[in-house]
Structure 1
Amino acid sequence: MISLRTLFLISSVSTFCFSGPLVASDQVPGAPQTKPILIRGATLHPVSRKSIVRGSILFDSGRIVAIGKKVDVPDGAVVIEAEGKHVYPGLIESYTDLGLREISAVDATADHTEFGSKNPNVRSWVAVNPDSELIPVARAGGVLLAHVAPAGPFVQGQSAVMQLDGWTANDMKLLAPAGLCVHWSSMHPSEKDEAKAAEKQDEKWQEFDAWIERAKRYAKREPHAVATDLRLESLQRVINREVPLIVSADRQAAIESAVLYAMKQNLRLIIYGGFDATSCSKLLKQHDVAVIIAGTHRLPLRRDDPYDAAYTLPERLRKAGVRFAIAGEGPGYPDGAANVRNLTYHAACAIAYGLPSDVALRSITLSPAEILGVSDRTGSLEVGKDATIIITDDPWYEPQTNVEQAYIQGRKVDLTSKHTMLSEKYKKKYRQGKTEVEQ
């Protein structure tokens, strides 16, 4: 006779084993490339140079080996006739919590914020869920890489550039760490009492200064003389300028203070947000500080800001000579990870407000690759780079454009998603309903 305890264990194991498909995507990661693949007759958009009309691109073993008007077909190659199509490098989401958050209203599916306010040792890539339903949706929109960053009230943790295909988070990792994320705006508390605000600001500055100084002393310690401190260990790459400090800052005072602090401590710096970046563009340009714009689909920061301030920000930064990339809806948005698929709309909005289309394309491909330190691998169609590319039926900025094929390091990836499966389901449902009515 089976005991109640045994029945309970069987029930628990069954629930664990069979509940997975209900919360995970069914897409199988792409298989490694085994034959050369030639895409022929398409309009190629290398980004790093002018477009090639009716060109060809050849990739093998996951790398681009030839691109141009005429490319020889090697023996055994798979030839894709793509006349009338467009070929682009895979789009890059510059700042997101994709893979760390599934459903914002369900805490159990969100792993984007660690407890506490100072977590430089947090590594975002180890928590990325490769089976997230949101990853195939982003992929279907042409986004093949994402800079995944943790959230938090102060020192948030380390970010990573992830490829959006793979069995495990380790398979997906392209660069880790990519930077240390800090919510710099928390250094500038908004208090009506100016004296109180200044006091809180001084406290934050002293606190952060103390962390940096402790990390510098820790680096000079005698081996085995001091117990290992993971938080101070994680700051070493920042102090040594191996990875940048990526600070969230929108207001002019926060941006300027972040730049001045980075120069004082000799740190590499990237600004995320940057709503007021044009107000301090000379400072940013002087110190070659890049800006990751936190989307164009957002409201003005102040009551008296122009209604289109966010829409025109990319063009204003371009005119000012400040390097920038355009991100979609990042961790600060209620449903940021779910809307990575809208990245092209953010960049296209900037085109409508003055940004040249070639610069807009660069802002979601090569510019983020350069800013995040992966431009030797991706971001443009060049010989020697990863074959991370998309094929579309129309130009990328058109609302009706569909991504027809996608490859990550030469692996053909599945473009079905929960959205496409639901679409097919209800098309079939209403076709059957119509047939039944006609009968």
Structure 2
Amino acid sequence: MSLPKLVANSWLLLLSLLLPLSALAQDVPTPAPPQSRPIILQGGIIHTGTGKVIQGDILIIGGKISDVGDIRTRVTDATTLDCTGKHLYPGLIAPTSQIGLDEIESVRGTDDRNEVGLVNPNVRTIIGYNTDSRVTPTLRSNGILLAQIAPGGQGFAGTSSVVQLDAWNWEDAAYLVDDALHLYWPHMVAYNASWMPPLEKQKKNIEKRLAQLDNTMQQAKAYLKTKNAGLLKKTDLRWEALIPVLNREKSLFIHANSERQINAALAFMLRHEIKMVLVGGADAWLLTGPLLANGVPVVLAKSHSLPTSEDDDIDMPYKRAGLLKKAGLLVCLSMRDFWNQRNLPFQAGTAAAYGLSKAEALQLVTLNTARILGIADRTGSIEPGKDANILVCKGDLLDMRTSLVEHAFIQGRKIDLGNKQKDLYKKYRGR
């Protein structure tokens, strides 16, 4: 083959590879520009997220909520959006999500959720976060505007960050960088089954894993002591990542579900004098006393699931949030994973039917989440001074039968709520 023909064929091959990538990029809406003019959301039913529901207006200036209710601030050149009969909500927040870390579960090259090994506290999810994920627009369509991007895996899995879901790159998306460290507690039950190792071997493996957790903390403490004494010869990023946890500057999010796991995690927290947030918490309703006594918030995962025990009520997963709230615990909801995060508001709706008021249920996915993640001073409710992360909804946001998010604002920017699924619906609706 001649050289010119070889070059031409190479270019054709390159173009054929790039065209699918170009098509994929077009599926993701372009991020909105910064707010340039004041915006008034007029005449809506405002669910503030603080427990109050009022009728009135919201004034947004410079990406912030300037006034709520009966607006007395005089503004000129404002853009007015008629919200008569519409419901206005704070933007929803998805904790312990893996959105942007995984695209197609069966394709390893698109999966950045897990790292190899059991001691990876230095892993930072923020640098692996993909703002061009096709999944992200489907979350925004259901009202999720912010998410905590958490690592998966085992043991000390790494550090999460909070992002806003309308950005060009991870630097623009960053809302709170390296907010917490995540630890996945090992299973603590040995199973007598033909496909499992012998019981004694399982028990030894459990003991080994638990001992490794304490050993990791002891090594980090020794490293910190050496560093404080000025004797450190070499920086170790693993122990550097644990220092804010040891100094109680950051919380350790411990993922645990069973009563035995949660008890062990609480003992671990007390031994090492750290701040803890419980994630998962399927059996947390059995341990409300110790959790409350030690000030441990709960990120309750996957409430749309089956009971964990054959002795539990069939509707126990739906009632957990109400039971924890009644006990006085700070609790929020999570779907974990990535694509199914879009159903987060409907989990809160289920909680409203099983022991909570609508206002309390809304807080499970807004203000309570913001408090647990340490961003309640900026978002989580519709109050003057906070970021204008706001939803305009035609029906009840927490009810999948009526919820229809018509407009959404992130830091005052009116974002595009289109997505691939909506495009396909429009395409085939009239066929």
* Fold conserved between structures, TM > 0.5: yes
Corresponding position of 2:425: 423
Give the residue type in structure 1 aligned to 2:150: A
- Determine the C-alpha separation between the residues in 1 that align with 2:182 and 2:281: 15
C-alpha contact (below 8 Å) 1:57/1:71 kept by paired residues: no
Q: Secondary structure at the match of 1:298?
A: coil
Give the residue type in structure 1 aligned to 2:222: R
Q: Does 1:141 align with 2:146?
A: no
Corresponding position of 2:32: 30
Corresponding position of 2:77: 76
Q: Secondary structure at the match of 1:56?
A: strand
Corresponding position of 2:314: 307
Greater mean deviation of Cα atoms: 101-110 or 311-320: 101-110
C-alpha contact (below 8 Å) 1:52/1:69 kept by paired residues: no
Give the residue type in structure 2 aligned to 1:78: T
Shift of 1:9: 4.2
Q: Deviations over 1:17-37 (max 9, x none)?
A: 322234343310011001111
- Determine the C-alpha separation between the residues in 2 that align with 1:238 and 1:187: 23
Q: Does 1:180 align with 2:187?
A: no
Distance 1:5 1:379, change over 3 A: same
Give the residue type in structure 2 aligned to 1:58: L
- Determine the C-alpha separation between the residues in 1 that align with 2:215 and 2:81: 58
Distance 1:6 1:249, change over 3 A: same
Give the residue type in structure 2 aligned to 1:32: P
C-alpha contact (below 8 Å) 1:163/1:173 kept by paired residues: yes
Equivalent runs, 1:246-265 vs 2, <5 Å: 246-265=253-272
Distance 1:221 1:391, change over 3 A: same
Q: Does 1:100 align with 2:108?
A: no
Shift of 1:304: 2.6
Q: Secondary structure at the match of 1:285?
A: helix
- Determine the C-alpha separation between the residues in 1 that align with 2:248 and 2:8: 57
Distance 1:360 1:272, change over 3 A: same
Q: Secondary structure at the match of 2:382?
A: coil
Equivalent runs, 1:152-301 vs 2, <5 Å: 152-184=153-185, 186=186, 188-192=188-192, 196-222=201-227, 225-301=232-308
C-alpha contact (below 8 Å) 1:188/1:197 kept by paired residues: no
- Determine the C-alpha separation between the residues in 2 that align with 1:274 and 1:300: 12
Distance 1:118 1:15, change over 3 A: farther
Corresponding position of 2:323: 316
Shift of 1:8: 5.7
Q: Secondary structure at the match of 1:112?
A: coil
Greater mean deviation of Cα atoms: 63-72 or 342-351: 63-72
Q: Does 1:409 align with 2:414?
A: no
Corresponding position of 1:358: 359
Corresponding position of 1:433: none
Give the residue type in structure 2 aligned to 1:190: A
- Determine the C-alpha separation between the residues in 2 that align with 1:133 and 1:144: 15
- Determine the C-alpha separation between the residues in 2 that align with 1:221 and 1:162: 34
Q: Does 1:43 align with 2:45?
A: yes
Unaligned stretches of 5+ residues in structure 1: 332-336, 431-439
Shift of 1:170: 1.2
* TM-score (norm: length of structure 2): 0.93
Distance 1:154 1:22, change over 3 A: farther
Distance 1:379 1:291, change over 3 A: same
Q: Secondary structure at the match of 2:241?
A: helix
Give the residue type in structure 1 aligned to 2:207: D
C-alpha contact (below 8 Å) 1:123/1:158 kept by paired residues: yes
Corresponding position of 1:334: none
Corresponding position of 1:17: 18
Q: Secondary structure at the match of 1:39?
A: strand
Q: Deviations over 1:36-67 (max 9, x none)?
A: 111110011111241112x1111111111111
Give the residue type in structure 2 aligned to 1:151: G
Number of residue pairs matched?
421
Corresponding position of 2:334: 327
Shift of 1:295: 2.0
- Determine the C-alpha separation between the residues in 2 that align with 1:16 and 1:37: 43
Give the residue type in structure 2 aligned to 1:279: L
- Determine the C-alpha separation between the residues in 1 that align with 2:191 and 2:181: 27
Give the residue type in structure 2 aligned to 1:302: S
Shift of 1:131: 0.6
Q: Deviations over 1:159-213 (max 9, x none)?
A: 11111110001111111212111111x1525344765554333312221112111
Give the residue type in structure 2 aligned to 1:409: Q
- Determine the C-alpha separation between the residues in 2 that align with 1:80 and 1:224: 62
C-alpha contact (below 8 Å) 1:187/1:205 kept by paired residues: no
Distance 1:198 1:307, change over 3 A: same
Distance 1:6 1:221, change over 3 A: farther
Distance 1:320 1:229, change over 3 A: same
RMSD across aligned positions (CA) = 1.8
- Determine the C-alpha separation between the residues in 1 that align with 2:17 and 2:239: 38
Q: Deviations over 1:402-437 (max 9, x none)?
A: 001001011111000011111111124x1xxxxxxx
C-alpha contact (below 8 Å) 1:177/1:243 kept by paired residues: no
Distance 1:265 1:401, change over 3 A: same
Q: Secondary structure at the match of 1:264?
A: helix
C-alpha contact (below 8 Å) 2:51/2:359 kept by paired residues: no
